[in-house]
Amino acid sequence: MSHSTYKIKCVLNPHHIVDGDSCYDICIVGAGAAGLSAGIFAARRGYTVGIISTDYGGQTASTAEIENYPGCGKVEGPDLARAFFREAVGFGCSFISDRINGITRNGTIMLEGVQGQYRCRALIVATGKSPRRLGAAGEQEFFGHGVQYAGAFDPEPFRGCHVLVVGGGNSALDAAVRAALSASQVTLVHRRDQLSGERILQDRLHAAQNISVRLDTTVAAIEGGTRVESARVMDSYGAEQVISVGAVIVAVGFEMRSGWVCGAVSCTEDGRVRIDDSCHTSAEDIFAAGDCTTVPFQQIVISAGEGAKAALSATRYLDGKDGKRSIRTDWGYV
């Protein structure tokens, strides 16, 4: 199907999507809390929505247990992610399994994926982030052979092991506490002089009998044969020590996946998409939400709220294009 066919269909039938057609009113790239929440709100307003991602759930899906998504109590991350997904599809969003690498313009927006091209009248970028690498020698070599990244880690292989956790934020603390349930011993190393995760997680860390904490310490190398056998750590005076460990969990933050859109909209130096308080980017037809943006905090409920904002802004933009009155939100203000 040629571009011009897409374009005509899109312009003639902005609210109807023919099966197999790759033109949507709104494309959402990314299917974490922000993208799926955006899908729910955009589809409820009657627009055709295509959500493009290689998987769904983002960081929500890769968190074992979530206690701070208000209203849901204690919930398994994959279960919450499945609920988001089910609702987005239930309200009519199409899910397209692809990875977007580029964006061009030809009247409307054209997204370039690995599997195909997708045209839309408005775009919501919600690509989240992926775990940051430590950069230590051996980290890549032993990935999957003892090296794991926080969030998605599987505690089973740690049974009876000494586990090294690297990092000092919530995900590191959470990883250490969870690993300690099956590991014989957990050592948490953090390059700063204080942990920075939530008090409640610090309390749990200190309550565990088999977790020790080393501050002002970095990991120089991860070593072993076919699997991790030890880690070489260094204190702030430069003194090195080799610790025997069977596994290393890296929890030192995340990186952006939004490089492909940073030519089309204004981004920060570290690749986050700049947004205003309505989740509008520097382009009138591109919106963004969640961890890939300049939103100052990253939490599931914050990303879900930002996704809703991006969807309401995108539908308001399309309402204007279609000569409809701008939508009003539930309580009368926009």
154 vs 330, beta carbon nearer its own copies: 330
Other C-beta atoms closer than 10 Å to the C-beta of 255 total: 12
The one-letter code for the residue type at 320 is: G
Beta strands in the chain (DSSP E): 23-29, 49-53, 65-66, 75-76, 94-97, 100-106, 108-113, 117-125, 129-131, 147-149, 162-166, 185-189, 211-214, 217-224, 228-235, 240-244, 247-250, 254-256, 286-288
Q: What is the dihedral of CA 154, 220, 254, 263, to 10 degrees?
A: -140
Is residue 128 within 8 Å of residue 257, measured between CB atoms?
A: yes
CB of 130 to its own copies, least distance (A): 10
Give min distance, CB of 261 to its own copies, in A: 19
Which residue lies nearer to its own copies by CB, 224 or 305?
305
Residue 3 or residue 132: which is nearer to its own copies going by CB?
A: 132
Instruction: Please say which residue, 17 or 161, places its beta carbon nearer to its own copies.
Output: 17
Minimum separation from the CB atom of position 314 to its own copies (A): 12
Which residue, 203 or 284, has its beta carbon nearer to its own copies?
203
Tokens of 238: 């430069």
Judged by beta carbon, residue 103 or residue 122, the one nearer its own copies is 122
- Report, in Å, the least distance between residue 270 CB and its own copies: 9
Of 106 and 329, which CB lies nearer to its own copies in the complex structure? 329
* Three-state DSSP state, 253: coil
| Smallest gap from residue 5 Cβ to its own copies (A) | 26
CA 6 to CA 55: how far, in whole Å? 25
What's the min distance (Å) between Cβ of 244 and its own copies? 28
- Give the Å distances, CA to CA, from 334 to 113, 278, 280, 283: 34, 10, 14, 20
The span from the CA of 102 to the CA of 113, in Å, is 7
- Report, in Å, the least distance between residue 279 CB and its own copies: 9
Distances (CA, A) of 276 to 34, 146, 238, 280, 281: 16, 42, 44, 6, 7
